[in-house]
Chains A and B, each alone.
Chain A
Amino acid sequence: MTSMDLVGKLLQVLVGLVAFGAVVALLLAFLDRPEDKPRAASWRSGLRPRIILVAAFALLALLARLLYGLVPWMTQALTNAAIAVGVAGIAIVVLQWLLDRLLQPASPAVRSAVLRGVGAAIVVAIVLVAQSAERIPALDWVTPALVLAAAIVGWPLVGALVATAAIAFLPDRIRRSARLLAWLLAAVAVVVVALVLEAGQEQPVGVWPWAAAAALSIIGLLGYLADRDDDSKPMLVFLLPSALLLTIGLVYPAIRTTLLAFTDKTGAFNGLDNFIWMFTQPEALVTLANTVVWVILVPLLSTAIGLAYAVFIDKSRGERVYKMLVFMPMAISMVGASIIWRFMYAYRGPEQEQIGLVNQILVWFGGEPQQILQNSPWNTLALIVVMIWIQTGFAMVVLSAAIKGVPTEQLEAAEIDGANPWQRFANVTVPGIRTSLVVVVTTISIATLKVFDIVRTMTAGNFNTSVVANEMYTQAFRSGEPGRGAALALILFIMVMPIVIYNIRVLNQQKAIR
């Protein structure tokens, strides 16, 4: 990896986080409108954050200058860009502070109008400078795409700012609607300007106008919503991003997948063909059968072993360490666990020395080394062992906590009545931890139904080891059969749904009791 790549990646993360932070800050700004708050009289108010900002910008420019020539990735263009951003940032912060001080005595309408006017002037300056960037050597980092973007976004933004500045003097009643109208008009203007540019065949404009239009309309809508006097309305702003993401990213795709399940690979409706394929073709049937085996064995065995272990180590010395050892697999990735176990199962011919512990044990007991991951049907069991290894710790930790909640009096009473340890366990402890047992079994069942990583990493679903979640991925993204993949996802959803609902209900009951 070159250091250039690394810096590019860091820049990506930085840009992403800053952009996200800006969006959230904007949302929060809408929440408490500055007009509502009494303005602090002293000139010191708000000085500290501004000093910090100025220092940050200065540091950025300074660092860029210092690193230039020292490290290979600090190219001249990057240095110039950083210095330009730093200087411009400082100028804007200082300007804003000065304006804020000067406008202290003015009415809110005048203040907002002046601020918007100055903002518009700054945008105009940026656009003009960008357009003449070719002639200024210090601006060699401004790419043509950036110039175009600045022009397309800049002019409508100026229009919107000027318009809203004028609107500040309108009577209250129509001000809100007028403001919204101005923002939406600006958004439309962006698209129109872009289309005109594109029609003129000067340059392809790409997606900038659409992104800018969307941003402008969202800003306008948010402002419109937040401006209501009603106390609760701004809170919709709080919900908006999550609601938007969930609708676009979960609700719509889930519906779409359901429809997709009834189409073939060209996207044409084919009725139940995908499901008929699933329940008749041998390779698909193996997948379903494997999933059933998984979902029976894993919850049962991990819960049983976890419960036994929890009972055995209860109140013993070093309980914490014991717990940690078994719980640790839960922290690592299933990919990591799969590699750990592939190493355990590693195979060498009978004439060679074994390097996998499992085969070595076979040899020690006089057996033949086996290709554990390739011999069907035992290979499925070998994969199941990995999942049990991971999930037992989870069962153990939950059940151990539950066991400690069983009242000692009941155990003592049972003992006085002559119950042996096994009877005490079966008749007092187990009924006492019933809800926890249900939660553990259902939770592990859900995780097992969705198991993907283990199968993918250990066998990639070959040798008759595939399960529904893995087959879904293979069909949809490897074999180019999105319809079949969607049908498998739908089956998965139908299998998981009742268990999840039941699990959540039990969890809620448990919480209600406590």
Chain B
Amino acid sequence: MSSVAFTPDPEVTPDEVAPAVRTRADRVKRRLTSPWATIAALVIAVVWTIPTFGLLLSSFRPADQIQTTGWWTFFSDPQLTLANYSEVLFSSSASSPQLGEYFVNSLAIAIPGTLIPLVLACLAAYAFAWVKFKGSSTLFVIVFALQIVPLQMALIPLLQLFVTFLQPFQTALHEAVPFISERQYLPVWIAHAIFGLPLAIFLLHNFISAIPADVIEAARVDGAGHGQIFFRIILPLAMPAIASFAIFQFLWVWNDLLVALVFSTGTPDTAPLTQRLAELAGSRGENWERLTAGAFVSLIIPLIVFFSLQRYFVRGLLAGSAKG
């Protein structure tokens, strides 16, 4: 494994085993496996999959069936429908969850909520890694230490700050451009950017500082400025780390509930899917035809990311697991 990888990478390790070693390992292994182990593994796999599967299946069953019979009866009486999804997503009746709107909100929060800390962290990580200035290491240690602060520590004062300083600005923006609602995503973006920064700077710094100094020295000799070095050398070389962090941060923001509860207005203007779902689960906990479909609407993006970008996903997740 290269020295720049910042985490154990389960996707890489098996490929690194030399073929000869592998056959021998297989031989040893074969003698180690017992049928009981296989059965136990199968049982765990099934137990871990069934809850999700049950929910997915239920979300496609007619509403009256969800309410009266268990989803396992589907196999004796199969009936499928898309009505639940069209109901939760597009129905405009007042009693419908109207998740389409919240889906847009989730996207509108998650994309800037990922891009802003990513860009700022790239800049800062480069400065920490490749520019010598006074107090550089002290400053980096402080940023590093900030990972320890759980975000609960920041919630109350940050909200007060936003109300005092950001609110008038938002109102002014709304007055100048009436098209933009007074309830904006801005506080949520800033909050996510702040909470994502320490980890992002730390991870990207680890990666960027591991780029060989010769490469950067050579560019400098050729007359490249900081900007050119940053764009032509650092960014392309750090792409794997950037992608990993981007995916981690995106999912973190998408799946977040606490920051949304505190900093979004809670109205359809800004609240993300998670907030709406938590609310529905509280107020209409027995409305299963809506909850099942709604839950799957919120799961679909993470699952797509998970299945298509697994390698980056795993790496980002492992690196990010200490996030505050």
Contact = CB atoms under 8 A, between A and B. Distances in A.
Interface of A: 1, 5-13, 15-17, 20, 24, 27-28, 31-32, 36-37, 78, 143, 145-146, 149, 206-208, 211, 232-236, 238-239, 241-243, 245-246, 248-254, 256-258, 260, 305, 308-309, 311-316, 322-336, 338-344, 346, 353-357, 360, 389, 392-394, 397-398, 400-402, 404-405, 408, 411-412, 415, 421, 424, 436, 443, 446-447, 450, 452-453, 456-458, 460, 469, 472-473, 476-477, 482, 485-486, 488-490, 492-493, 496-497, 500-501, 503-504, 507, 510-511, 514
Nearest to A391: B321
B310 to A, nearest CB: 8
B197 interface: yes
A370 to B, nearest CB: 16
B217 interface: no
Contacts of A510: 8
A500 B24 CA distance: 39
Contact of B41 (A309, A338, A404, A450): A309
A143 B175 contact: yes
A20 B288 contact: no
Given A78-B179, A232-B133, A457 B278 contact: yes
B58 A343 contact: yes
B153 A328 contact: no
Given A13-B185, A250-B198, A312-B41, A328 B52 contact: yes
Given A335-B274, A340-B295, A514-B3, 17 more contacts: A7-B179, A13-B108, A24-B123, A27-B123, A234-B226, A238-B131, A246-B146, A250-B195, A312-B37, A315-B25, A322-B45, A331-B306, A333-B302, A340-B52, A357-B54, A473-B261, A496-B150
Contacts of A338: 278, 281
Given A257-B157, A400-B10, A489-B152, A16 B112 contact: yes
Contacts of B148: 493, 496-497, 500-501
Given A344-B51, A496-B148, A511 B6 contact: yes
Interface stretch (B68-76, B78-86, B236-244): B68-76
Contact of B10 (A241, A343, A401): A401
Contacts of A234: 226
Interface string B200-227: 0100001000000000000000000111
B213 to A, nearest CB: 16
Contact of B155 (A248, A335, A344, A476): A476
Contacts of A476: 155-156
A358 to B, nearest CB: 10
Interface of B is mostly: helix
A241 B5 CA distance: 27
A514 B1 contact: yes
Shortest 3 CB-CB distances between A and B: which pairs? A249-B194, A333-B255, A253-B157
Contacts of B54: 340, 343-344, 357
A271 B155 CA distance: 22
Contacts of A31: 225-227
Nearest to B13: A404
Nearest to A28: B227
Nearest to B274: A335
A242 B121 contact: yes
A308 B3 CA distance: 29
Given A8-B179, A472-B152, A16 B189 contact: yes
Contact of A241 (B68, B120, B168, B257): B120
A257 B152 CA distance: 9
A7 B193 CA distance: 24
A37 B226 CA distance: 12
B44 to A, nearest CB: 5
A326 B33 contact: no
A235 B127 contact: yes
Given A312-B37, A389-B51, A398-B10, A238 B158 contact: no
Contacts of A332: 52, 255, 298-299, 302-303
Nearest to B186: A16
Contacts of B307: 324
B26 to A, nearest CB: 6
Given A250-B146, A492-B152, A415 B124 contact: no
Contacts of A453: 257-258, 274, 278
B101 interface: yes
A238 B156 contact: no
A12 B180 CA distance: 6
B178 interface: yes
B130 to A, nearest CB: 9
Contacts of B261: 456, 473, 477
B63 interface: no
Contact of B98 (A1, A316, A492, A501): A1
Given A143-B178, A401-B13, A436 B306 contact: no
B68 A335 contact: no
Nearest to A5: B101
Contact of A305 (B9, B44, B116, B285): B44
A342 B52 contact: no
B177 interface: yes
Interface in B98-131: 98, 100-101, 104-105, 108, 111-112, 115-116, 119-121, 123-124, 126-128, 131
B94 interface: no
Contacts of A336: 255, 274, 277, 295, 298-299, 302
B226 A504 contact: no
Given A239-B127, A333-B255, A473-B258, A355 B153 contact: no
Interface in B136-158: 139, 143-144, 146-150, 152-158
B241 to A, nearest CB: 14
A260 B305 CA distance: 40
Interface in B173-193: 175-181, 184-186, 189-191, 193
